[in-house]
Amino acid sequence: MEIVVTGANGFLGRHVVHALDRNGHLVLPITRSTSAVERSEYLRRADVVFHLAGVNRPDHPDEFTVGNVDLTEAIATELLSFNPVPILFASSTQATQDHPYGRSKRAAEEILQSYGQQSGKAVHLFRLPNLFGKWGRPFYNSAVTTFCYQIARGETVTVTNPEHVLTLAHIDDVVASFMQTLQQDLGLYPTVPTYNINLFDVARMIESFEAVRLARGIPDLSDPFTKKLYSTYLSYLPKERMTSSLTMHQDARGSFTELFKTPDRGQVSVNVAKPGITKGEHWHESKHEQFIVVSGEGVIRLRHMDEDQIISFYVSEEQFEVIDIPPGYVHHIENTGTKDLVTVMWVNEPFDAHHPDTYRATVTQDAEVS
């Protein structure tokens, strides 16, 4: 379809334009620089209008009327005169409030409701709360955007009204709901998933993300809001903070490097063994591991602590396999190739020097411990 998007350069508009484009639609963008003639041409061609443009932080209250009411009136009038089509409107939860911004949004809603009655075309009024996500403007779009920007740069965050509760919607959820309206009728007032959190807590959450990153950890992402907020925070990292140095523990046998550590999902590391080297020769009471060889070739051997039988797994870069190392099995990995053997290792808990749960033993009686 050919779809008009007003406010195409805005925070919401940019996301919608990308979504429409990857779904195969032709976007007809209307921005502040679009002439009245060009706007009319686009509206004549439109199959659907996504009316996302609006004013929310003007220099003068009169701009609310010009940007929110008059523009909506002009669009509705033009469509009624030559090309009535469905309209999706990005309204605001503030439309129920008695202040200049709220009144302007409510007036725009009323214009579009009248348009729908006259044209017989579907009208969808999305009363959106505060939005958060990538590509927002710090100190403009939302407090979340500002906090992410400041904390990602090591700046001090000032929360002037810590108990103020924000109702938030993630930009991807909003766009998904918008796309859904192209497939089905969601009614006059469609809803989007929202989250309630006060300013103090959201600032502390973002600060905790930074602390976790510095410790080479990953937050618990099982909670949908945490997952979306963490992704939002990472999108504001400056270039110089997109890389993190890792500590390689090296010796003549190779190296061992910890990548990520989490209290509930374990630890991921990279182990490098030089040709001819055998590493391991230990067992764990409760730890369990998974080994994946990604470069080189070798053999992983295991022996149950109470048995003599040796289990061998021949591994190489030719075929990625996950080898489980259960608790109670002595194990080692031997580099049988001519180049470094690189293994990605996952263990169910991060290493604790005070409780290492690692006990020396050999897989075979004549094995050389190294």
Grouping H, G, I as helix, E, B as strand and the rest as coil, residue 134 is coil
Tell me the two tokens of residue 33.
């620089």
Which pLDDT band holds residue 64 (cuts at 50, 70, 90)? Answer: confident
| Active-site residue identified among 101, 115, 195, 236 | 101
Tell me the two tokens of residue 211.
């602390």
Which pLDDT band holds residue 67 (cuts at 50, 70, 90)? Answer: confident
Which stretches of the chain are assigned E, i.e. beta strand? 2-6, 26-30, 48-51, 87-92, 123-128, 130-132, 165-170, 195-198, 248-251, 254-262, 266-273, 278-283, 289-295, 297-304, 310-316, 323-325, 329-335, 341-347, 359-360
- pLDDT on residue 369: 39
Q: What is the pLDDT of residues 324-362, one digit of tens each?
A: 999 999 999 999 999 999 999 999 998 888 999 999 999
CA distances from 253 to 234, 250, 263 (A): 36, 8, 29
- Which of 91, 106, 100 lies closest to 61, judged by CA? 100
Q: What is the pLDDT of residues 206-231, one digit of tens each?
A: 999 999 999 999 999 999 999 999 99
- Which of 13, 1, 334 lies closest to 183, judged by CA? 1
Q: Is residue 92 predicted with pLDDT exceeding 80?
A: yes
For the chain, what is the mean pLDDT?
Answer: 94
φ/ψ of residue 305, rounded to 5: -55, -30
User: Residue 41: left if φ>0, alpha if ψ -120 to 50, beta else—which one?
Assistant: alpha
Q: Is residue 86 predicted with pLDDT exceeding 90?
A: yes
Q: What is the pLDDT of residues 282-306, one digit of tens each?
A: 999 999 999 999 999 999 999 999 9
Contact 123, 86 (CB under 8 A): yes
φ/ψ of residue 299, rounded to 5: -135, 135
Tell me the two tokens of residue 115.
């348009």
- pLDDT on residue 223: 95
Q: Is residue 61 predicted with pLDDT exceeding 80?
A: no
Q: Which of 79-83, 142-146, 225-229, 362-366 is predicted least confidently?
A: 362-366
Active site residue 101: yes
- Which of 35, 77, 27 lies closest to 52, judged by CA? 27
Helix-, strand-, coil-residue percentages of the chain, each rounded to 5: 30, 30, 40
- pLDDT on residue 28: 98
CA–CA separation, 243 and 262 (whole Å): 19
Average pLDDT over residues 308-323: 96
Q: What is the pLDDT of residues 157-176, one digit of tens each?
A: 999 899 999 999 999 999 99
**Which domains occur in the chain, in start order?**
2-234 (3.40.50.720), 248-360 (2.60.120.10)
Residues of the chain above pLDDT 70, percent = 98
Q: Is residue 365 predicted with pLDDT exceeding 70?
A: no
Q: Tell me the β-bridge partners of 250.
A: 255
CA atoms within 13 A on the CB side of 141: 22
